[in-house]
Amino acid sequence: MNKTIIFSSDAPKPVGPYNQAVKTGNLVFLAGQIPIDPTVGKITATDVAAQTHQIIKNIQAVLTKAGTSLDKVIKTTVFMKDLKDFSQMNEVYAQYFKAETAPARSTIQVAALPLDSLVEIEVVAEI
């Protein structure tokens, strides 16, 4: 297997023993992104909509470094602290992924997320 580690300085640095993304073949697998603002190194957004915007900006930065884009995302997994906030997340998500070409998606409620984030999103994209 040939794997390439992807790192973008425009996205948050990993906070553990993992990488922002790993490219193998014509696919790139991104680690879950939480809404850390990379310019300050912490979560500044306080609501689900603003956190989702920041997460997708982080995802775009890593995808760009990997040589791909949101248009090439084939699968997303959204982790939410509370599914009651689904409509807020989904409204923002729809601004970046249009229904006609949207990737496959799973959305899961979890007990907690790192740094008390309200949302986390991971993606798989084609290069």
pLDDT band at 16 (very low <50, low <70, confident <90, very high): confident
For the segment 52-80, the average pLDDT, to the nearest whole number, is 98
Across 42-63, average pLDDT: 98
Q: Which CATH superfamily is domain 3-126 in?
A: RutC-like (3.30.1330.40)
Q: What is the C-alpha separation between 123 and 70, in angstroms, rounded?
A: 9
Contact assessment for residue 124 and residue 75, using Cβ atoms and an 8 Å cutoff: yes
Local confidence band at 15 (pLDDT 50, 70, 90 cut-offs): confident
Average pLDDT value over all residues in the chain: 97
Alpha-carbon separation of residue 84 from 34, 56, 81 (angstroms): 18, 20, 9
Which of 64, 75, 73, 78 lies closest to 20 in space, CA to CA? 64
Check residue 47 and report its DSSP letter: S
What does the domain layout of the chain look like in residue ranges?
A: 3-126
pLDDT, position 69: 98
